Amino acid sequence: MKSSWRRASTEAKLLLVGIPVLIWTLLPIYHLVLFAISPKESAFAGQLWPDHPTLHNFAVVFREQHYYLSHFWLQLWNSLVIAVSVGVLTLVVATAAAFAISRLRVRGGRTVMNLALFTYFIPAAFLAVPMYKTMGNYGLLNNQWSLILAMVTIAAPYSIWVLKQASDKLPYELDEAARIDGASPPQLFRLVYLPLMTPSLVAIGTYALLLAWNEYLYAFLLLSNDTQITLSVALGNFLAADDSPWELLMTVGLIYALPPAAIYYAFKRYMVGGLTAGAVKS
Amino acid sequence: MASVTFHNVEKTFGGTKVIHGIGFDIHDGEFMVLVGPSGCGKSTLLRMLAGLEEISGGTIAIDGRVVNNMESKDRDIAMVFQSYALYPHMTVADNMGFSLRLRRAPQATIQERVAKAARILNLEPYLQRFPRELSGGQRQRVAMGRAIVRDPKVFLFDEPLSNLDAKLRVAMRGEIKALHQRLKTTTVYVTHDQVEAMTMADRIAVMHDGRVEQIGTPLDLYDRPGNLFVAQFIGSPAMNVIEGTVRRGNGALHLEAEGGIRWPLGDGGGADGQRVAYGIRPEHVMLASPDTLGAVAGEIIVVEPTGAETELLVQAGSVQIVLRTHGRPVVNAGDKVGLSVDPSMVHVFEKQTGARLAA
């Protein structure tokens, strides 16, 4: 009797914390949804639920029927291309680095990794202007490669670090067994290392992809042409007008949030396993 | 099949020398066991032979060809690791066929060789399983299968049975020995377990502190240990060692231990007045009645029956003596007994260096 009472009280305390946190988290999303399904006139009516919920806003967005939306599909595509490119490139760079540092034990590898991590001491926002200058020097401004390369630069150190920690947990005897079996380093990488690192690779790929998908500042600085920018920058442009079309902004925002959510849920189990696998050094 | 030659081999780890100029031969088809306490350098020596550690000095040759600067994969060796080191993402068949796949052997050849190895090791029902779905013993057999499939010149085993429970270890011991008798491939086997060494080896190299203390057949080492370290390392329970001084009395030599206790000594076991370590194996100490002439008086501390044999721990003066006897003597802890020793079975070692003295 007493124990069930105690259990109920523990549960009540958890709910007491959980419910406010849940509301706190969901409230902005609720507003996002509310705006997206409200007609323009009643968007600011302050109702908990619109009198006449509508999907009209989605139709406007999908048909690009507004000045700010004239390149919606292209910009969504830009976001996707850039995000996927960043994910793939980061994986290539980070996996190769982690393999070299952790498995081939290249001399000076640890120093390189620490130097890369050192870049995180400077907030990315402070690096935006130097990065702009650098890309200018390379003649890459207003080219999507500039954003891709910038995002890879930002994502790579953390990715290398996580993958290096995950690599360290693979038994070294596997490499030795493979070497005796006749594997060259590239074969070891392809046939033994990559398959065993899959969970961490999925996690890191997703991390870099989402980082690029959600990036605003660098995208805003490095790209300016309407046909080059990502959707996140296009969303920012909505606010340039005096009477911003809030209901459309929120609709696009909702649409923009869906792919990351889908990716997160698709790879969730890898994400958790992969990230904690790199967290503890054993 | 091949011979292996170590010539003045040295290994230094960051200024610390761990292998001090080791040299010996392993004959074609021989089962050689490297045994010694942990840290003696046996695994390092094996890894140098495998090409997993650099050789700091001297040469290692396989089949007369110096392999110092040769990659592991070119040495034509196969190794079985203590941790099995199976590729977790590959099936048993893929694990076993991996080396052939890397050498781009035809699929038919791979299948045939894997099937043959699986038959030898009773792994046929498990070929499509993954390592995580196997027991420890089965994993160990897969690791051996991976080695067999390659048909190498030399098999290397690095403490392959240490991760198995006691019963399985004895069973696998037999399997490895049977496998060697069947394949007759030169084998180098590292273990810290002297029982494994004794039961499996054609010859044993006893190592200690980066040096080879003695090389010989198991019974050679047991019957004529070259020094005190080997004497105490080989044999279970270990040899009894009593320190004392050689004395000549009534024409015969004896050892005078602490408290004036006299242990009989054969001829030639040191000179009068020399400080020595006196060794006698547990099965060479016999129970006698306390008043027997020449017997050492003692008191039984522990009686350990094991069925076929009985081990007794006896306090004789300041030392404790283990004795092993067939059958089941009717004695109890606290009984006063006499201990008699066959002088021809006594081993005498110099006190300072531990070197074997005379006969």
Domain boundaries, chain B: 4-233, 240-350
Res. A282: pLDDT tops 70: no
Contact B255, B242 (CB under 8 A): yes
Report pLDDT for B348: 92
Q: Do B87 and A173 touch (CB under 8 A)?
A: no
Q: Do B85 and A177 touch (CB under 8 A)?
A: yes
Which among B54, B73, B153 is the top mutation candidate for probing chain A, defined by the most A β-carbons within 10 Å of its own β-carbon?
B73
If we measure between CA atoms, which residue out of A104, A131, A241 comes closest to residue A186?
Answer: A104
Q: Mean pLDDT, to the nearest integer, of B309-332?
A: 91
Count the residues in chain A. Answer: 282
- Report chain B residues whose CB lies below 8 A from the CB of A177: 79, 81, 85-87, 146
- Report chain A residues whose CB lies below 8 A from the CB of B78: 180
Res. A271: pLDDT tops 70: no
Res. A280: pLDDT tops 50: no
Q: Do B85 and A171 touch (CB under 8 A)?
A: yes
Confidence of residue A67 (pLDDT cuts 50, 70, 90): confident
Separation of alpha carbons A122 and A115, rounded Å: 12
DSSP string covering A153-197: HHHHHHHHHHHHHHHHTS-HHHHHHHHHHT--HHHIIIIIIHHHH
pLDDT digits (tens, 9 = 90+) for B34-66: 999 999 999 999 999 999 999 999 999 999 999
Domains of chain A: 2-62 (no CATH), 70-279 (1.10.3720.10)
pLDDT digits (tens, 9 = 90+) for A97-109: 999 999 988 899 8
Confidence of residue A279 (pLDDT cuts 50, 70, 90): very low
* Eight-class DSSP state of B236: S
- Report chain A residues whose CB lies below 8 A from the CB of B99: 180-182
Q: In 3-state terms, what secondary structure has residue B296?
A: strand
Which among A105, A181, A198 is the top mutation candidate for probing chain B, defined by the most B β-carbons within 10 Å of its own β-carbon?
A181
Res. A202: pLDDT tops 50: yes
Longest CA pairwise span in chain B (Å): 80
Q: How far is B72 from chain A (nearest CA, A)?
A: 5
Phi and psi at residue A258, to the nearest 5°: -70, -45
Q: Do A177 and B50 touch (CB under 8 A)?
A: no
Contact A97, A160 (CB under 8 A): yes
Q: How far is A80 from chain B (nearest CA, A)?
A: 32
Q: Mean pLDDT, to the nearest integer, of A18-46?
A: 87
If we measure between CA atoms, which residue out of B11, B127, B152 comes closest to residue B77?
Answer: B152
Separation of alpha carbons A189 and A96, rounded Å: 9
pLDDT digits (tens, 9 = 90+) for B167-205: 888 988 998 999 999 999 999 999 999 999 999 999 999
Report pLDDT for A48: 78
Q: In 3-state terms, what secondary structure has residue B268?
A: coil
Neighbours of A160 (CB within 10 A): 26
Neighbours of B259 (CB within 10 A): 10
If we measure between CA atoms, which residue out of A123, A122, A211 comes closest to residue A162?
Answer: A211
Res. A2: pLDDT tops 70: no
- Residue B160: cis peptide before it, omega within 30 degrees of 0: no
- Report chain B residues whose CB lies below 8 A from the CB of A180: 50-52, 72-73, 77-79, 99
* A200's tokens: 């961490």
CATH 2.40.50.140 fits B240-350, yes or no: yes
Q: Do B51 and A179 touch (CB under 8 A)?
A: yes
Q: A–B: how many Cβ contacts below 8 A?
A: 53
Separation of alpha carbons A19 and B255, rounded Å: 86
Q: Do A187 and B102 touch (CB under 8 A)?
A: yes
Q: What is the CATH number of domain B4-233?
A: 3.40.50.300
Q: Hey, which residues 131-190 in chain A have their CB within 8 Å of chain B?
A: 171, 173-174, 176-183, 187
Report pLDDT for A276: 41
Which among B47, B87, B157 is the top mutation candidate for probing chain A, defined by the most A β-carbons within 10 Å of its own β-carbon?
B87
Q: Which of A173, A182, A196 sits opposite B83 (nearest CB)?
A: A173
| pTM, two decimal places | 0.82
Separation of alpha carbons A156 and A152, rounded Å: 6
Confidence of residue B240 (pLDDT cuts 50, 70, 90): very high
Q: How far is B240 from chain A (nearest CA, A)?
A: 40
Report pLDDT for B25: 95
Q: Do B102 and A181 touch (CB under 8 A)?
A: yes
- Report chain A residues whose CB lies below 8 A from the CB of B83: 171, 173
Q: Do A183 and B102 touch (CB under 8 A)?
A: yes
Q: How far is B160 from chain A (nearest CA, A)?
A: 13
Contact B17, B35 (CB under 8 A): no
Which among B43, B83, B162 is the top mutation candidate for probing chain A, defined by the most A β-carbons within 10 Å of its own β-carbon?
B83
Q: Do B83 and A171 touch (CB under 8 A)?
A: yes
Res. A281: pLDDT tops 50: no
Q: Show Cβ contacts of residue A219 under 8 Å, excluding neighbours closer than 6 positions.
A: A82, A147, A229, A230, A232, A233
pLDDT digits (tens, 9 = 90+) for A126-158: 889 999 999 999 999 888 999 999 999 999 999
* Token pair 């049975």 in the structure block, residue: B161
Residue B233, H or E segment: helix B228-233
Q: Which of B79, B83, B103 sits opposite A182 (nearest CB)?
A: B103
Phi and psi at residue B160, to the nearest 5°: -70, -15
Q: In 3-state terms, what secondary structure has residue A104?
A: coil
Which among B44, B89, B114, B146 is the top mutation candidate for probing chain A, defined by the most A β-carbons within 10 Å of its own β-carbon?
B89
Question: Which residues of B lie closer than 8 Å to A, measured between beta carbons?
Answer: 50-52, 71-73, 77-79, 81, 83, 85-89, 98-99, 102-103, 146, 150
Q: Mean pLDDT, to the nearest integer, of A94-121?
A: 90
